[in-house]
Structure 1
Amino acid sequence: MTTLSTAPTPRTPTERAESGRRVRGRLPRSAHAQFAPDASRPDPVGVIEAQSARRVRALMPIRYGRMLESPFRFYRGAAAIMAMDLGALPDTGLGVQLCGDAHLLNFRLLASPERHLVFDIDDFDETLAGPFEWDVKRLAASFVIACRAEGFSTREQDTAVRECVRAYRQRIREFAGMRTFDIWYARDDADRMRTLLDTPPSKEARQRGDEARARALTRTHMQAYEKLTRVTDEGRRFTPDPPLITPLRDLVDDVAEDMPENDIRAILESYARSLSSERRHLLANYRLVDLARKVVGVSSVGTRCWIVLMLGRDDDDPLILQAKEAQESVLAPFTGGGRYDNQGRRVVSGQRLIQSASDIFLGWTHVLGIDGRGRDFYVRQLRDWKGIARPETWDPDVLTVFAQLCGASLARAHARSGDPVAIGAYLGGGDRFDRALVTFAQVYADQNERDHAALQEAVRTGRITTASL
């Protein structure tokens, strides 16, 4: 289990920097290259099965089927396995609010409350305080695994990782010299993103960036409304697409524990109390119309997720909220847990702390199922200007540019919640940490492939049942 420093933060920049440099004596930067699990490492399939036991059983074959598709898809669903592996390693103790699942597809273009397009982290299901390098290692390994999926050479894989980690290190050191307010208000909008790159991007990279921005601007709540709903005799309702989208009215004979016993309006009122007063006022202008269960992502399949259709003035004035179950972070067993009695609040608090521009409807609630079990949820808009990375369409140069943006964005998130002076001093001006993580990422990608093969074997022998959707 990691031990984060509980001593008072040194008051002067010199003292803070010295505290970071002292960590090198206990954990040299080159040591981060090491990953060599022994025979006592738990069975990776067993780790996934234990996590699945807390989820909707009927949806688990979908989760396993998606993870089975490729080592990269497996990695996206295997945050619990990597948390176990990272928790067994020596760590710096230089704490930040971790994303907890910082793989490359969890970085994307988003809409700020001021309607600006920004680049930021967008997945906080596993967020918790922990050593900064855990996020960096998960991000670095994701680039090797994604590069291998596209057939890139080892040299191209290593370049992406090196540029990602170097961008992180250089920017955290940049933040070390900034005023506290300037760190807090930093955000990566379209103009800022260009300055984060050491060299001008290629024509291909510029074109891909322009396409991504244009695509993100089309992914609005109105687009989601048109795609997910239809006109019925009762008015606008969610379009059934079971098992991926199943309206509440069609779940009568479904798994009992997945049904909310609480009156839906009472649940919304409870959620509204987690919002600021002006946002509660805004929400009150919408009326509840429909509710459906939704299957989401790869790592989240089987967690209970509801989409809520609300209308304002008329049918052309929709709001779609997503209420997603928040379970204990996969990091909790290795960090001592957290201070929150509501896991939805943990997610929201972590997101507000490290994301530069959070959704105005981000909040949390608690739901009682008809099985008598209480479950925590966090709530946000379903879709609002989200641009999702598509590495399968990129060449190595484009992926390397994206790696730099991800590393720099992660540094901004960590600087808000941790001590950039101490972290920057630990990392230093040289590339020892960068080179160490290039090695780590390759070694961990090998391990991920072995774990993916273990899942394939579990399917072959009938231990695991899959479904393709």
Structure 2
Amino acid sequence: MSKTTQGATPKSQKKTAPAKARATAAEQEEAIAPVSNLESRVEAYRELCGAFVKYPCVMRPSALTGFERRRHVRDTIVEDHAVRIDEKAEGAREKFEELAGSLYSFFRGTSLLFHRDMLGEDERMPTVLALGDVHPENFGIMPNADNVPIFGVNDFDDVLYAPFTWDLKRGATGFLIASEEIGGHKKKLRKKITCEFLKGYREGIGFYARHDKEASQQMRADNSPKVVRRMFKKAAKSRKAWLWDRYLNETGRGFPANEELTPISSRIDEFQGYVNEVAKQNGIAPQGRAGELRVKDVCIRHGQGTASLGLPRYYCLIEGPSKDATDDLIVEFKRARRSALEGLVPENDFFAGREGDRITHGQAVHLANGDVFYGSVEIDGMSFMSRERAPFRDDIDLDDLSDKSWKHYAHACGLALAQAHARSDDAGELDYRIEPRILEAMAPDELFMDDILCFARSAVKRLKTDHRFYKRDLALGAFDMSQKRYR
């Protein structure tokens, strides 16, 4: 919340004003400096979080109304996108327009704003490795270590150790918004869909508390609910067709140049080093379906994601074992950022790592036997995470769901999230069984679910107001430049 300050020159100093006016160019440049203080604001919110936990009457951003709330929304979004705005990053304007397009897009793309409203919340609740950004489209089909398609949580950009309720509250809010805006459902059905998400989670935690199978269990095409099995069928596609339809040029030796992909073949040797680094991290031998792990081509990928629009993203084409452009692999490198939950969750004893390492830790914890190409490297002085793209990597098409399928899908997402949380004491930092503690914290079940629903309804109401503020500010140019602080 920067301000431009202008002080009048005292009469006693007016004779010296001309001398002060002859400041050096460096001093003049220093007088106007961009507000690059994401770090300082994170620490400020961390202190506020501690104050709220200690003194529960401390006001949080969620209590702001009117113009003060509008300024908070604007300042938080500018802060979250400061680098993209200052660098005039490709895709930044596209993201801002997408956020204006629908409430659901706004919800998906403003995780920092959402979580600042939760600052310090649920300090007494059991801690898990939280996904951080739970919504209906952050579950999907992806490859496991054996290149077999599985269903589960699939976006680890915001993972952080936090109360388990943080994921449930964001997930419930996401299902309420999506079922209204995309599904077109009335209030009663929206409640039922959201309750199925919470019931699925409760069922999953109860199962793992009794059977302790979270370390190895996977949701595959042969053991998934019907609504998820349909996703597997839709995602089924031969690797050859997938490669040639979208990712190979006419020779089969590299990427095509189009609006989605820009080849940068001059950097093949550089990215070969990054691929080798990931292979070393994860013990991937140059054999089997990875072939010789040889990079054939590299490209920039444009216009992908919602929250990450405008951030650098690269694809590496890896030559497959047959060397005939039918079984090549694609490894993605995506810019890693600070978790939106950083400094906002109640203090705990567990550390997930920094940036790319944190995301890699999240994938390893949340998925049993997951994608072996998840890793962390530094590119151009920035942290990047890596993962494999695959022909069967796919998300749900919410438009295609019937009323009954919405409920079944929400239940399946709850089950998947339960397994991710339950693995916090197997592959994560927790040194005690977490499931019994979560079950105890959820009792009595009906009261717990009603509390989550009440939170979600309040969050939806607040988000609708925030979205109106945002669209007004966007039209007035609020996000064309980052804020500056003047002397």
| TM-score with structure 2 setting the length | 0.76
Partner of residue 404, structure 1:
411
AA partner of residue 299 (structure 1): A
1:322 aligns with 2:323: no
Q: How far 1:403 moved relative to its partner?
A: 0.6
For the 8 Å contact 1:186–1:356, the answer to whether it is kept is yes
1:274 aligns with 2:281: yes
AA partner of residue 324 (structure 2): D
1:245 aligns with 2:276: no
AA partner of residue 153 (structure 1): K
AA partner of residue 143 (structure 1): F
- CA–CA separation in structure 1 for the residues paired with 2:330 and 2:141: 19
User: CA 1:412–1:2 in 2, change beyond 3 Å: closer, same or farther?
Assistant: farther
Q: How far 1:428 moved relative to its partner?
A: 2.3
User: CA 1:404–1:219 in 2, change beyond 3 Å: closer, same or farther?
Assistant: farther
1:214 aligns with 2:230: no
- CA–CA separation in structure 1 for the residues paired with 2:393 and 2:269: 31
- CA–CA separation in structure 1 for the residues paired with 2:131 and 2:77: 20
For the 8 Å contact 2:141–2:395, the answer to whether it is kept is yes
For the 8 Å contact 2:216–2:369, the answer to whether it is kept is no
- CA–CA separation in structure 2 for the residues paired with 1:405 and 1:282: 31
The SS at the match of 2:439 is: helix
User: CA 1:446–1:262 in 2, change beyond 3 Å: closer, same or farther?
Assistant: farther
Partner of residue 154, structure 2:
122
- CA–CA separation in structure 2 for the residues paired with 1:326 and 1:219: 30
For the 8 Å contact 1:286–1:319, the answer to whether it is kept is no
The SS at the match of 1:238 is: coil
Identity %: 22
Which 5+ residue runs of structure 2 have no aligned equivalent? 1-44, 48-55, 426-433, 482-487
For the 8 Å contact 2:122–2:165, the answer to whether it is kept is no
For the 8 Å contact 1:172–1:420, the answer to whether it is kept is yes
The SS at the match of 1:402 is: helix
- CA–CA separation in structure 1 for the residues paired with 2:265 and 2:222: 46
Q: How far 1:264 moved relative to its partner?
A: 2.8
> What are the residue-to-residue correspondences of 1:130-145 with 2, within 5 Å?
130-145=162-177
Larger radius of gyration: 2
- CA–CA separation in structure 1 for the residues paired with 2:451 and 2:94: 36
> What are the residue-to-residue correspondences of 1:12-23 with 2, within 5 Å?
none
User: CA 1:340–1:129 in 2, change beyond 3 Å: closer, same or farther?
Assistant: closer
Name which of 312, 317, 332 aligns with 1:309: 317
Name which of 87, 94, 106 aligns with 2:119: 87
User: CA 1:211–1:175 in 2, change beyond 3 Å: closer, same or farther?
Assistant: closer
Name which of 439, 444, 459 aligns with 2:459: 444
The SS at the match of 2:141 is: strand
Which 5+ residue runs of structure 1 have no aligned equivalent? 4-26, 28-33, 195-205, 251-259
Q: How far 1:443 moved relative to its partner?
A: 1.5
1:345 aligns with 2:357: yes
1:421 aligns with 2:450: no
| TM-score with structure 1 setting the length | 0.79
- String of CA shifts for 1:157-177, please: whole Å, max 9, x gaps: 111111111221232123222
User: CA 1:280–1:77 in 2, change beyond 3 Å: closer, same or farther?
Assistant: farther
For the 8 Å contact 1:161–1:437, the answer to whether it is kept is no
User: CA 1:276–1:224 in 2, change beyond 3 Å: closer, same or farther?
Assistant: same
User: CA 1:224–1:47 in 2, change beyond 3 Å: closer, same or farther?
Assistant: farther
Partner of residue 15, structure 1:
none
The SS at the match of 1:218 is: coil
Partner of residue 34, structure 2:
none
For the 8 Å contact 1:110–1:216, the answer to whether it is kept is no
Would you say how many aligned residue pairs link Structure 1 and Structure 2?
407
Q: Aligned Cα RMSD in Å?
A: 3.0
User: CA 1:446–1:52 in 2, change beyond 3 Å: closer, same or farther?
Assistant: same
